[in-house]
Amino acid sequence: MKIRSLRDSALSGVRWTVASRFGLQLITWPVTILVMRLLEPRDYGLLALATIVIGFIALFSELGLGAGLVQADEVDEARARTASGVILGLNLLIAICLIAAAPFIAAWFNEPALTPVMRLLTLELVISAFAAVPSALLERQLRFRELSLALVIGNLAGSAVTVIAALAGLGVWSLVLGALVLASVRTLALLVYHGGIVWPALSLDLTPVRALAQFSGHVIGARVLWYWYSQSDQVIVGRLLQGAQLGNYNVASQLASLPVGKVMDTVNRVSFPVLSRLRSDADKLRSTCQQLLGLFAVYSIGVCWGLAAVAADFVTVVLGPNWLRAIEVLAILAWVAPLRTICSLHNTMTTALGTPQAATKELAVASVITPAAILIGANWNGLNGAATAWLVIAPLLYSLSAWLTARALQLRLLDTVKPLVIPVACGTIMYGAVWLLGAALSERIPAVAVLVLKILLGAATYLVALRIIGPRVVREGLALGRELMRPASAT
């Protein structure tokens, strides 16, 4: 694909993906908060346990073939059909094993109610298997419009079912049904946009996908390590503490990552195929990666540190008294969320460069450090101790990630860290301003008014600080915004 054509396709993809994610944020935030108010912490604890187990096993459900298809130079029908057959067969086998193992897993967590939840959620694996190859082929073709629409349609359907079931008093089953409907509708939409099912090859000959094995092996290794690194805290909290405690931790983790998680998914989906095709232009690749890091740091630090600054007010006003134990956890996890998501962006960059071993090395270290620190923290101070451990884990892992990314991009370490300096300074000023406002406000002011005033002051302070300290960052952001809104030129 020509550079100009690639650029236009990427910009079109960014426009569609950003628009869809932004629209989903407007919908999912109110829905998520409403459901949280309707359900109990234990409901979220049960779903978290089931999701952790199923999600880990699901990492092996496609053997990294989806990413391999996106990154491969060519994909013919035989390769696509063979990949489809492997993925579907693996998912069926995994679903059967999980259904049989559910009672034993529930007993290990000392949660008997986990068994039926896990068994029903395994259907999601089988449903999603039919979408794996079509999704990879659409992504390979940079058809982000279709990918975005499928995601939006699926989320709308899943959110509607979740709310209706929660209002009907179904508890944790409202979350389970919502997840299944989301997967079903999204899969159906992807099949329609792709033009039908990629029928699995009936042959046992795996030669067509053998060329993807080396790349996919690194991808699977990185995904397994990343999953254990990102979920080990919830495994430990779920094992050591009660289900309601895990529910508080899980909800705080969701809220802390929600503002950046959707954006990070957008950035990863768009940047991976684009950066993969820029490998021949080293200078352009480096400048693109640095710009991505800078702009994402501006967004993530502003939003996440702002959330940390108003954590107590937000939980009290928006979630209600059932979730007060989540306040300190939310504040801490929101503080470290930018570093964690930037590490994810680093991994996307190095994998797109064809050096996934960099991500594997980082995640191998993370998979050892994280559970050890969380275990120490949880034994020391329970729920809050587990969260506090992240104040040590996140900076250490970010330092390692930045160093490995700099080596892969052939940059100085300072060049990968420098994009964070201005956002960190502005975020610190914002946090201080919000804290001072909270200290000055009278307790007689309604809690809702306090929350609104803090949000407005925080946003204004951050933007003004950016304008004064980092005008270049603002100009680049505005320029990129105008470019994204401009229609792609004809090729």
216: in domain: no
Residues 206 and 249 both lie in one domain? no
Whether the CB-CB separation of 465 and 430 falls below 8 Å is answered with yes
Whether the CB-CB separation of 387 and 252 falls below 8 Å is answered with yes
Give residue 488's pLDDT: 44
Of 211, 230, 250, which one is at a domain's C-terminal end?
211
Residues 162 and 303 both lie in one domain? no
- From first to last of its 491 residues, the chain has per-residue pLDDT tens of 444 555 555 556 666 666 666 777 777 778 888 898 899 898 999 999 999 888 888 777 676 676 667 666 666 677 777 788 888 888 899 899 999 999 999 999 888 999 999 999 999 999 988 988 888 888 877 777 888 889 889 999 999 999 999 999 999 999 999 999 999 999 999 999 988 888 877 666 666 556 565 556 666 776 777 788 888 899 999 888 877 788 999 999 989 988 787 777 767 766 776 677 777 777 877 877 888 888 889 999 999 999 999 999 999 999 888 899 999 999 999 999 999 999 988 988 887 787 778 878 888 899 999 999 999 999 999 999 999 999 999 999 999 999 999 998 888 889 889 889 999 999 999 999 999 999 888 777 899 999 999 999 999 999 999 989 988 877 766 665 555 445 444 33
Residues 173 and 261 both lie in one domain? no
Residues 429 and 476 both lie in one domain? yes
| Residue with the two structure tokens 């931790």 | 249
In degrees to the nearest 10, what's the CA dihedral of 51, 343, 153, 304?
Answer: 90
217: in domain: no
Residues 246 and 144 both lie in one domain? no
Alpha helix stretches (DSSP H) within 39-71: 41-58, 65-71
233: in domain: no
Residues 26 and 164 both lie in one domain? yes
CA 360 to chain centre: 18
- pTM for this structure? 0.79
Give residue 215's pLDDT: 58
201: in domain: yes
| Residue with the two structure tokens 């690639």 | 6
219: in domain: no
Give residue 105's pLDDT: 93
Residues 318 and 452 both lie in one domain? yes
| Ramachandran quadrant class, 64 (left: phi over 0; alpha: psi -120 to 50; beta: rest) | left
Of 211, 246, 264, which one is at a domain's C-terminal end?
211
Distance separating alpha carbons of residues 50 and 285, to the nearest angstrom: 40
Whether the CB-CB separation of 393 and 370 falls below 8 Å is answered with yes
**Which own/partner pairs from 355-362 qualify as long-range (CB within 8 Å, at least 24 positions apart)?**
355/408, 356/215, 356/218, 356/219, 356/222, 357/218, 358/404, 358/405, 358/407, 358/408, 359/218, 359/222, 359/226, 359/404, 360/218, 360/221, 360/222, 360/225, 361/404, 362/397, 362/400, 362/401, 362/404
Identify the CA nearest to 114 among candidates 243, 245, 247, 251: 243
Residues 199 and 65 both lie in one domain? yes
DSSP 324: G
Residues 396 and 453 both lie in one domain? yes
Give residue 485's pLDDT: 47
Residues 109 and 146 both lie in one domain? yes
What's the number of domains the chain is made of? 2
Domain range holding 356? 238-491
Give residue 1's pLDDT: 46
226: in domain: no
330: in domain: yes
145: in domain: yes
Residues 358 and 268 both lie in one domain? yes
Burial level of 334, CB count in 10 A (0-12/13-18/19+)?
A: buried
Whether the CB-CB separation of 125 and 61 falls below 8 Å is answered with yes
Assigned token pair, 242: 């009660």
How far from each other are the two terminal CA atoms of the chain, in whole angstroms? 11
Residues 179 and 293 both lie in one domain? no
Whether the CB-CB separation of 85 and 200 falls below 8 Å is answered with yes
